[in-house]
Amino acid sequence: MEAHSSSRSSLSRKRRRDGSKGEAEEVERPGKVPRSTVGLKDPASFADELESAENTPYLRVSMEEAKRGTPFHRPVRVYADGIFDVFHSGHARALMQAKGLFPNTYLIVGVCSDDLTHKFKGFTVMNEDERYDAVSHCRYVDEVVRNAPWTLTPEFLAKHRIDFVAHDDIPYTSAGQDDVYKHIKEAGMFAPTQRTEGISTSDIITRIVRDYDVYVRRNLQRGYTAKELNVSFINVR
């Protein structure tokens, strides 16, 4: 991960926190060119590698302005967050919807850490570094926030200069709240997406558990040891 991150830093410093990535002055600088100009050959930047613009004035755009289309240099900054464990097509489709909400969208994706996820949701298959990296390679993502908060505060929204938050409209009950996005909806900053039916991390884990013996045999045949798989026996079918 360290080597991967360092290769990104030279690119990250050339990007502006307002989301603009394709202006001539950006492209003409030496080193890597912005991701959007090289056919998506580079993964999305990590927010903590980007040059901060917290002290630069920032005025949120309205929903009407966002839908009408903003100038190229001022994309609508949309934020979507999640765990993104065992990254799958349901995740990708949600991010595709978030990216396509407006004609000119800069998509920021927050990924929660292991500590927060294990505390509020449960154990994960992939660790946080694997999940950060998986999301950064999704074609729709422009920027990744590592160690994203479980509940979005006004300070966090201001720091990342967020215009709208994208998530499916089903109330998300967690951390003692009926809906962790309730205050976002009340502030008029919520942009709903749709879930993809029939695919989720829980569904995938259920398939593996259901066909446990099949997958154990498969991995034993591929050279894994019983110790590595933490098994002492499997059922005979």
pLDDT (tens digit, 9 = 90+) per residue, 193-207? 999 988 999 999 999
Global pTM?
0.79
Amino acid at 60: R
Residue entry with tokens 């920032």:
58
Tell me how far apart the alpha carbons of residues 191 and 87 are, in angstroms, rounded to a whole number.
22
Amino acid at 57: P
| Structural domains of the chain, with CATH | 45-198 (3.40.50.620), 200-236 (no CATH)
Exposed e or buried b per residue across 36-73, where buried means at least 16 C-beta atoms within 10 angstroms of its C-beta: beeeeebbbbbbebbeeeeeeebebbebeebeeebeee
Tell me how far apart the alpha carbons of residues 125 and 211 are, in angstroms, rounded to a whole number.
17
The larger pLDDT score, comparing residue 19 to residue 232, is at 232
Query: In the structure encoding, which two tokens stand for residue 65, read together?
Result: 């302005």
Helices 201-210 + 212-221 axis angle, to 10: 80
Give the strands of the sheet with 76-82, arranged side by side: 45-46, 143-146, 105-111, 76-82, 164-168, 190-193
Arithmetic mean of pLDDT, 104-133: 96
* Residue 10 pLDDT exceeds 60: no
The pLDDT assigned to 181 comes to 93
Task: Calculate the alpha carbon distances from 154 to 78, 87, 163, 189 in Å.
Answer: 15, 28, 12, 12
What DSSP line would sit under 170-204, residue for residue?
A: S---BTTBS-TTHHHHHTT-EEEE---TT--HHHH
Tell me how far apart the alpha carbons of residues 7 and 42 are, in angstroms, rounded to a whole number.
10
Report residue 234's pLDDT band, with 50, 70 and 90 as the boundaries. low
Q: What are 185's strand-pairing partners?
A: none
* Residue 86 pLDDT exceeds 90: yes
Report residue 141's pLDDT band, with 50, 70 and 90 as the boundaries. very high
Which segment of 134-143, 166-175, 180-189 scores lowest on mean pLDDT? Answer: 166-175
Tell me phi and psi for residue 3, to 5 degrees. Answer: -65, -40
The pLDDT assigned to 152 comes to 95
